[in-house]
Amino acid sequence: MIARRRQVAVALAAVLAAAAACQGRHHDSKASGRPAPPAARGFTLVAAGDILPHSAVLDRARFDAGGTGYDFRPMLAGAQPVVSRADLALCHIETVFGDRTGSPAFDSPPEEAQGLAATGYDSCSTASDHSLDEGAVGIQRTLDTLDQAGVRHAGTARTDAEARAVTLLRAGPAKVAHLAYTADTSGVPLPPGDPWAVNLADPARILADARAARSAGADVVVVSLRWGTPGLDAPDPQQVALARELTAARTGGRPDVDLILGTAAHSPQAYEKVNGTWVVYGLGDQITGEMYDNAGTQDPGGNQSTLGRFTFVPPARPGGRWEVARAEFVPQLFDIDAGRVVDLNRAIAQGAELTGDRDRIREVVLSRGAAKDGLVMGK
């Protein structure tokens, strides 16, 4: 374990240097005022898993900020080169933003939003089992903070009107709808009178929202789902059934959902093409502390994750489907000791002995036959 950590440290300097070179490109180019690309061009979408800052993560972010406040930018710098180059980048926020002074303690400082924006994330799903940890106030604070950082969001809402609105994002020449839902809220009931505060993963609701998004002008509909059983490498039967139901739905011969991005398992799970649509059952946790299984044993997959990268191309005819021309996964590791996201391909190229982590991720991701449908490991 000590040798492994030293190898990670050796590789981190080169990885972070490459990340620094890319810093700011993503959002600067989007705000440059340049004309939109020609319609013939496609776009790339990158998706990351849970941002779940346990106490050790927060300690590192506070240290990186010099002891005052929190700074998540160095922590995320290892993912920045991949994230910043995408036309659209999505993440998942597991916990609400709080002031870190009261109860419950399991919340995140608002500086997290600034770190996500600096890394290049455009929108984050906020529907999770922790969405209601601080009630309506926690949702309000979280969404206000994301708005201030310039990061869009989907999955929770401050008002009924916001819950009904579609999060439409520009990705190159396309309009992408980002929808987000959670399978549960850890038994916490929705606020009285506010049943719209958190989107629950009801298939009829998801498909109705997807059709509404299409009517609102979405070329591509992406659904973020917090689902599944924590600690499992394989999707559970409920995930498989819901994926089949959502991907089978069509309106006018066109699929209602174009991509499903899963979180909540807290370790990577398989990618699979279901009914012609890519499904990521579990991206894994991009940032987290030590994870343990139900037996109390540290889960080796708990600090492993993937970035999903999908290249969409425009339809051959008006009104047709935007197809995924290339599907990739980029293996990642969160090094708890260093408090850094590590791009495993880059780290291994710099000499880190992390091939075991990369091989495990690849085995899990390809376990449901995605390679035959063209999924490859990206760099």
Question: Which tens digit of pLDDT belongs to each residue from 109-145?
Answer: 999 999 999 999 999 999 999 999 999 999 999 999 9
- Is there a domain that residue 39 lies in? no
378 three-state secondary structure: coil
Mean pLDDT of 304-313: 98
Q: How would residue 192 be classed by pLDDT, with cut points 50, 70 and 90? A: confident
Question: Which pLDDT belongs to residue 105?
Answer: 54
Query: What does the pLDDT average to over 11-22?
Result: 46
| Separation between Cα atoms, residue 45 and residue 50, nearest integer Å | 17
Q: Number of folded domains in the chain?
A: 1
The token duo for 1 is 């374990």
Task: Please check whether residue 56 lies inside any domain of the structure.
Answer: yes
Whether 37 maps to a domain, the answer reads: no
Reported confidence tier of residue 298, pLDDT bands at 50, 70, 90? low
How high is the mean pLDDT of the chain?
A: 89
Per-residue pLDDT band at 107 (split at 50, 70, 90): confident
- What one-letter code names the amino acid at 171? A
For the entire predicted model, the pTM comes to 0.89
d(CA 325, CA 223): 19
**Which domain does 352 fall in, by range?**
2-32+45-377
Say how far apart CA 312 and CA 296 lie, in whole Å.
42
Question: What is the torsion angle, in degrees rounded to the nearest 10, for the CA atoms of residue 345, residue 351, residue 353 and residue 354?
Answer: -10
Alpha-helix runs per DSSP H in the chain: 2-22, 25-30, 55-64, 73-76, 80-84, 111-119, 135-149, 160-164, 203-215, 237-248, 344-349, 355-365
Kindly report the CATH number assigned to the domain that includes residue 142: 3.60.21.10
Q: pLDDT-derived band of residue 57, with 50, 70 and 90 as boundaries?
A: very high
Contacts of 253 (CB under 8 A, 6+ apart): none
What is the distance between the alpha carbons of residues 199 and 85, in angstroms, rounded to a whole number?
Answer: 30
38 within a domain of the structure (yes/no): no
351 belongs to a structural domain: yes
For residue 90, pLDDT beyond 50: yes
Q: Report pLDDT for 39.
A: 43
247 contact partners, CB below 8 Å, separation of at least 6: 255, 257, 260, 274, 275, 276, 277, 279
208 falls within a domain: yes
- Asked whether residue 40 is domain-assigned, the answer is no
Closest CA to 209 of 221, 220, 197, 219: 221
The whole-number pLDDT of residue 5 equals 44
pLDDT above 70 covers a percentage of the chain that reads 84
CA distance from start to end of the chain: 26
What's the pLDDT score for residue 186? 92
Q: What is the mean pLDDT of residues 11-37?
A: 45
